[in-house]
Amino acid sequence: MTKTIAVSNTPFIKEDVVSEQLSAIDHELVPIETGDTDGIVEADPNAVILDVNTGVTAELVAQLDNLEIVARAGTGFDNVDVEACQDAGIPVVNVPGYSTNEVSTHAFSLLLACRRTLVEYDRDVKAEEWNWMPNRTFPRFYGSTLGIVSFGTIARRIAELTAGFDLDLVVYDPYVDQEVADEYDAEIVEFDELLERSDAVTIHAPLTDETHHMFDAEAFETMADHAIVVNVGRGGIIDEDALYDALVEREIFGAGLDVMEEEPPFGSKLLERDDVVLTPHAAWYSADSHQDLNETVSNDVLRALQGEDPENTVEPKGW
């Protein structure tokens, strides 16, 4: 019996790799435009392999008679109603760890680029302006305080990467205790204290009701005027209007954003700011991580379609 796999039609998912990994079974890949849930219903697949912009709701699950597994090609799964899938006996899998080094390195790169105003320097030199004295003074990075919001695998890698800079690490994560933080010489604090103490903040949390717009006008007012914020979690964690106002009013120094509330963010006022460094949700990417992602997610789909337990099943949880 041929197994039908609905696959988000995006370069993120490499159909040739998926098909090769599924070669042990008779299968057909059905490309679905990102976000097209009607296309998924029409395909009535045995499996779906989804990008971040295609949601799986309880209503969608109820319309699919043959669905055996939902596979999120990535780490975050906030676009999937995991509880609805579980109630229907359908496992949900993701791909944890495939880009830990990439995302942590990217976050650290954004952090340094913002702290050292590298993009602004680059623009000035290319405009034939040779001025080492910036319009805004900034403090030394070495020995400063780094705040980390959500202390999962990527954030812990950040802690390791910054070890040589003699930073004080403060962490806000309601789901991690001090014993874990001690392994990284970090201190668990409340959110307001993190904002008050940090010279820079990196965000790694998923988007939930709890984290939506947690960086709002009040949060930016609490931060030091030399502070920077880096977001490689989810765009909706930052209220972008509040961020724009905070930058205009010089309440914070700058921001490095790999994720935005609307992607692509064309038309956003933040594109006008020299004190914002933007990348196109690319923190996860390297040729190696791209390959690992596709092989791992495909292998879990294969296991499920062969009646075996997937390796990377996720559970509904907080952050």
Percent of the chain with pLDDT over 90: 94
How far apart (Å, rounded) are the C-alpha atoms in residues 297 and 17?
A: 10
What integer is the mean pLDDT of 18-35? Answer: 97
Q: Is 72 a catalytic residue?
A: no
What's the pTM? Answer: 0.92
Q: Count the neighbouring beta carbons within 10 Å of the beta carbon of residue 261.
A: 17
User: 5: buried, middle or exposed (CB in 10 Å: 19+, 13-18, 0-12)?
Assistant: buried
pLDDT digits (tens, 9 = 90+) for 56-113: 999 999 999 999 999 999 998 989 999 999 999 999 999 999 999 999 999 999 999 9
**pLDDT at res. 317:** 64
Q: Is 281 a catalytic residue?
A: yes
Candidates 33, 262, 263, 308; catalytic one: 263
Q: Please give the full DSSP string across 221-239, using - where no structure is assigned.
A: HHS-TT-EEEE-S-GGGB-
Q: Is 160 a catalytic residue?
A: no
pLDDT digits (tens, 9 = 90+) for 257-278: 999 999 999 999 999 999 999 9
pLDDT class of 19 with cuts at 50, 70, 90: very high
Candidates 72, 106, 204, 234; catalytic one: 234
pLDDT class of 319 with cuts at 50, 70, 90: low
Between CA 153 and CA 164, with CA 159 as vertex, the angle to 5 degrees is 150
Q: How far is CA 22 from CA 156, 297, 300, 305, in A?
A: 34, 11, 10, 10
pLDDT class of 318 with cuts at 50, 70, 90: low
How do the residues of the chain divide into helix, strand and coil, expressed in percent and rounded to 5? 35, 15, 45
pLDDT class of 240 with cuts at 50, 70, 90: very high
Averaged confidence pLDDT in the chain: 96
Candidates 72, 197, 204, 281; catalytic one: 281
pLDDT digits (tens, 9 = 90+) for 194-236: 999 999 999 999 888 999 999 999 999 999 999 999 999 999 9
